[in-house]
Amino acid sequence: MKGGESTKKVIALIVAVLFVFAVASISFAVEEKKAAPAPVEKKAEPAKKAPKVTQVTGEIKAVDAAAKTITVVKKVKGQDKETVISVDDKTLADVKVGDKVKAKYTTADGKNTAKSVIKKTAAAKKAAPAKKAPAAGY
């Protein structure tokens, strides 16, 4: 029986050593997980600062060349809603009061900055009825 008891002690020692390694590896894994979120947060912060793109479609009420801004008016529930948007020189030269536009812009520090300003032309409206006219004649 002495051989059986020494085998049990050896097996118990091996199990104890394996248990110690298992606990140690788990504690290292937890420490690595705690260190990992810090870089993730740093990457997430610029994403939060990315400005949201907003769109407004309406008529240009005012063009201010000195301030490089346009004022777009949109009817919302029967009332005029004005949006002042900063634009570049090219856009400023392309638009005038009364133009219908679709403007996409971002807001940062209380200032709206245009990403794109697209004029809605009357030619598109004329093209649609022209297609309907031949169909009506048949």
Q: Assess whether pLDDT exceeds 60 at residue 36.
A: no
Question: pTM of this prediction?
Answer: 0.51
Burial classification of residue 34, based on how many CB atoms lie within 10 Å of its CB (0-12 exposed, 13-18 middle, 19 or more buried): exposed
44-87 per-position pLDDT tens digit:
455 556 678 888 888 999 888 888 899 999 888 888 888 898 88
Q: Across 35-128, where does the E strand assignment appear?
A: 53-64, 69-76, 79-86, 100-108, 111-120
Give the contacts of 130 (CB within 8 A, at least 6 positions apart): none
> What pLDDT, on the 0 to 100 scale, is given for residue 132?
53
Confidence of residue 39 (pLDDT cuts 50, 70, 90): low
* Domain residue ranges of the chain, discontinuous segments joined by +: 2-47, 53-121
Domain spanning 53-121: CATH 2.40.50.320:
yes
Confidence of residue 137 (pLDDT cuts 50, 70, 90): low
